[in-house]
Amino acid sequence: MPADPNAELRFLVVDPLAGVQTFARQLLEGFGFAPATIRCQGDSAAALALGLEFRPDFLICDWLPKSEMNGIALYQRLKSVNPGCRLALMSFDVSPAHEAQAAEAGSRFLLRKPFTAEELKSTMRRALEHLAQERPELAQRLQATLKSAGPPGSLPAKIVLPKLPPQLRAGDHVRYGEHKDTVKFVVLRNGELVVQLTNRPELVPADKLQRL
């Protein structure tokens, strides 16, 4: 059965960081998509429960490396209820192996975190332009949506950028308050990126650090 050209595209954003969820939602709304067509979740289990009913056309998902069901596995499950669903991935760790797995899964992009507003908008715009070529019945509506969002380098005025954590790696030199220190390791804890410093016993939120 051909797709309904009047049907609304449905987006499911899955990311443990609330700021990324907000960022992606505001961007999609800035493209002109209705708020009711955009759902967000913070983990794969909740996303699967929602997605099996919501049946998204586009899954924008963190790699979820620590989850029992990572982003690609979640996508495969959701395709069982909507074979036309498209995938887009985001990750703090982008290696050649990750890129190969993303390509094999058919992901429209694998965007390295942290990203800027311009990077996410231009990357998502290209994915939607590609979708318009694949879905002729939606092409006119998608092109009108993209046109209303402004030129590729612009951002809708309604977008309020969240404070995304910096990209940090072990060995980076940083400033925490008045003190200089070195990153020992970086972990994701309860959806928050935190850092163990060499000279401090407690874990420190990544967005409290300034890279030197």
DSSP letter for each residue of the chain: -PPPTTSPP-EEEE-S-HHHHHHHHHHHHHTT--GGGEEEESSHHHHHHHHHHH--SEEEEE--TTSSS-HHHHHHHHTTT-TT-EEEEEES---HHHHHHHHHHT-S-EEESS--HHHHHHHHHHHHHHHHHH-HHHHHHHHHHHHHT-STT---TT-----PPP---TT-EEEETTEEEEEEEEEEETTEEEEEETT-SSEEEGGGEEE-
Task: Print the domain residue range for 207.
Answer: 173-211
Question: Quick one: 124 and 202 in the same domain?
Answer: no
Average pLDDT over residues 71-95: 93
In a domain, 49, yes or no: yes
Which pLDDT band, with edges at 50, 70 and 90, does 163 fall under?
low
What is the mean pLDDT of the segment spanning 58-84?
A: 93
pLDDT at 13: 96
6 within a domain of the structure (yes/no) = no
Q: What's the whole-model pTM score?
A: 0.69
Residue 3 has pLDDT above 70, yes or no: no
Q: Please state the domain count of the chain.
A: 2
Q: Which residue has the higher pLDDT, 152 or 88?
A: 88
Asked if residue 137 and residue 81 are part of one domain, the reply reads yes
Q: Are residues 177 and 144 in the same domain?
A: no
- Stronger pLDDT, 47 or 16, i.e. the higher one: 47
